[in-house]
Amino acid sequence: MPASLDDFQVISTIGTGSYGTCKKICRKKDGKILVWKEMEYGSMTEAEKQMLVSEVNLLRELHHQHIVKYYDRIIDRTKAMIYIIMEYCEGGDLATLIAANKKNGESITEDFAWKILIQTTLALKECHRRKNGQAVLHRDLKPANVFLDKDSNVKLGDFGLARVLHSESSFAQTYVGTPYYMSPELVNNLSYNEKSDIWALGCMMYELCALSPPFTASNQSELNRKIRLGDFPRLPLKYSIELDMIIRKMIQVEVAQRPSIGSILADPLVQKRREALECNVVSTRTNSSDNEKHDLDNIEKLRNNLIAKMRQLELKEKELESREKSVALREQIAEEKLKRAMSLLDQVRHRDDYSTTSQTAVKVTLPDNLSDASLKRQVTFHPQLFDKENLRQKIPHTGLVNPLQTKSALPYNNTSLENQLGFAGNKIIHNNLLHVR
């Protein structure tokens, strides 16, 4: 399914040039950071439009580690705009690097210069390969079109667009503002060819090291004159004569004397530097692989430690759960014991209350129909007691002294009699009470 503008979110504007505007975007489905270039094609002729589409399709077929990867294109016919979506390069471009070095009074190292030269040459080799009998030329090689990834490796971009966006007769307008990389054949209105890319590469490498183009002038005519002559100062002395010589080979006025891509890569010095560069890349990859392996080992250790800790945690949780169950069981048993104790205590209290109530009823409670008079009428004395009672009642009439009042006058003990009376009387009262009940 073709991509649409709604599939992306614009993050910021990177820059604006004669081709249009370059913006940093985010692909919504996976969050991948890319860039797109917006170009207005409304003013182009139909032939130019067809060339633009054909060229973009061609660029999408170029796959190389040192060429910016093209992902897709989106055509907005309502606005007559085309959006070319490509790889985002975190390291910026060489134009920004040159400007920063100028400002800070710094310069690149020679090793970095060789790295840029070799990697850009390899990218151009991929561009110059024949396709259907026609070479794919860059035509606009300059620092602003050479990008760097996060590891400062070259990513060549924007090749071929200058030829598409501008006709052959007005191609020089591409260099307005930056005409310093124009080759002698362009100055002489000759056709552009592969060797023109080589000239531009030499000029770019010179400026990258010297922080100034090899040919400068206050006007176009003076600049054209210097370009035709081909004279320029040596590189700063901090750079080797070998680097200066390989750059001078590329900036040869005569096209025939200018080396091809194959000749540059076949140069013994370039081969030596390329081998060293590739060894560094392999070493970097090895170190990176070792670091990744070390990181993986650390991750594995952390994973094992985490698993062990999780197991310990599980054991502690089980132990805690067991303790909680034990405590809960103990609490349940204690609760049951407490309930039984409270039940027993209530039973004891109930019995005590019942006993106290019963005793109180025996002592103080009498039947309602039982009075003192009826109690007295029901009392019956023993015959002996009756005779003695009568005797006691008769004695005062005879004028005799009452034997109960004179202890010595009676033949028996008064205390013994009272005891007998008390015992017998209590027994008689008790029997009568039972009879009443």
Provide the 10 A C-beta neighbour count for residue 366.
11
Pairing of strands 81-87, 146-148: unpaired
Strand partners, 82: 39, 75
208: part of which helix (H) or strand (E)? Answer: helix 194-210
In angstroms, rounded to a whole number, what is the distance separating the alpha carbons of residues 12 and 23? 6
Q: Is 140 a catalytic residue?
A: yes
Query: Helix 194-210 vs helix 241-250: angle between axes, to the nearest 10 degrees?
Result: 150
Of the candidates 93, 140, 158, 197, the residue annotated as catalytic is 140
Give the dihedral sign, CA 131/52/36/193.
Answer: positive
Q: Which residues contact 110 (CB under 8 A, 6 or more apart)?
A: 238, 239, 240, 243
Q: Which residues contact 196 (CB under 8 A, 6 or more apart)?
A: 137, 139, 183, 185, 186
Taking a C-beta distance cutoff of 8 angstroms, is the pair 61, 127 a contact? no
In angstroms, rounded to a whole number, what is the distance separating the alpha carbons of residues 353 and 237? 122
In angstroms, rounded to a whole number, what is the distance separating the alpha carbons of residues 354 and 346? 12
Which residues are annotated as catalytic? Answer: 140
